[in-house]
Amino acid sequence: MFRQQINRFFNAVTFYSRLPGPNWVDYSGEQLNRASGYFPFIGYLVALWCYGTYLLFSQFLPHDVSMLISMVSGILFTGAFHEDGFADLCDGFGGGFTQADILRIMKDSRLGTYGVCGLLFMLLMKWQSLSALPIAWLCISLFVAHSLSRAWAISLIMVLPYVQEDAHSKAKPIAKQWFKQDMLLAWAFALAPLYWLPLSMVAGLLCMGFATFVVTRQWYKQRLAGYTGDALGASQQVHEIFIYLFLLASLS
């Protein structure tokens, strides 16, 4: 049992980040399918990496510049995995009208105008929100946003079918089925950082997240009749930005 969890953990690490894993781990679609429970924990690693980068560069660079470098380090850490999904979704939803058109555009490796504009505005919004947060709140904000947004994104596989029959798709290994214990583990990781927030803020975050989840689910159902790997990545990015904005508004 313990060995299985170790395998799933390192499958999650190597799939959702650029970190290498040990050679003795069983890397397979079956293990990766059960690795979704560790998705929010990967958010811990991303948050820790980004915050550490900020602390390092803030010693000799201005706050805004250090924050931007921190964001770049986070993108390098994940290989722009979720940002790529967000850009592809913008292109697909912006340029496609039917499900077939949307899926065809999203699978195109080229980036279109909708994707460029969406990615630009998303990154600017994230940079400005993080830069405006009080320094004392930066660490916990990163941990909450990176873990909670991943839990909401991965939860979409419980309420939507997988729609892209592509063996090379990002979500293919995790699209086969989901398990209750994996979702419980994912949400345990996602909810843990909320312990350090005021109860009213926690309630607001969860209500906002659930409302965003419902709207996203309905939107994907209407436009895609399900979800794809890009759709999950885009959902993570949207939730992350909304969390930063909520925290910023609450602290202001």
Question: Which residue has 């195109």 as its token pair?
Answer: 108
Q: Work out the pLDDT band at 146, boundaries 50, 70, 90.
A: very high
Q: Are 193 and 140 in contact (CB under 8 A)?
A: yes
Helical residues (DSSP H) of 155-198, grouped into ranges: 156-159, 180-191
Pairwise CA distance, residues 43 & 147, whole Å: 5
Band of residue 180 on the pLDDT scale cut at 50, 70, 90: confident
How confident is residue 226, by pLDDT bands cut at 50, 70 and 90? very high
Rounded mean pLDDT, 193-214: 97
What is the pLDDT, as a whole number, of residue 21?
86
Interval 105-129 mean pLDDT = 94
* pTM of the shown model: 0.93
Mean pLDDT of the chain: 92
Segment 73-98, tens digit of pLDDT: 999 999 999 999 999 999 999 988 89
Check residue 167 and give its pLDDT: 52
> How far is the C-alpha of 232 from the C-alpha of 217, rounded, in Å?
10
Give me the pLDDT at residue 252, please.
82
Q: What is the domain partition of the chain in residue ranges?
A: 39-251
The predicted pLDDT at position 7 comes to: 86
Say which residue the tokens 């980036």 belong to: 111
The amino acid sitting at 248 is: L
Residue 177's pLDDT band, with cuts at 50, 70 and 90, is low
Q: How far is CA 137 from CA 10, 43, 56, 112, 247, in A?
A: 30, 17, 17, 36, 9
Handedness of CA 21, 25, 28, 32 (dihedral sign): negative
Phi and psi at 220, nearest 5°, equal -65, -35
Provide the angle, in degrees to the nearest 10, between the axes of the packed helices 81-95 and 229-251.
100
Read off the pLDDT of residues 8-59 as tens digits, 9 standing for 90 and up. Answer: 889 999 999 999 988 888 887 777 888 889 999 999 999 999 999 999 999 9
244 pLDDT more than 60:
yes
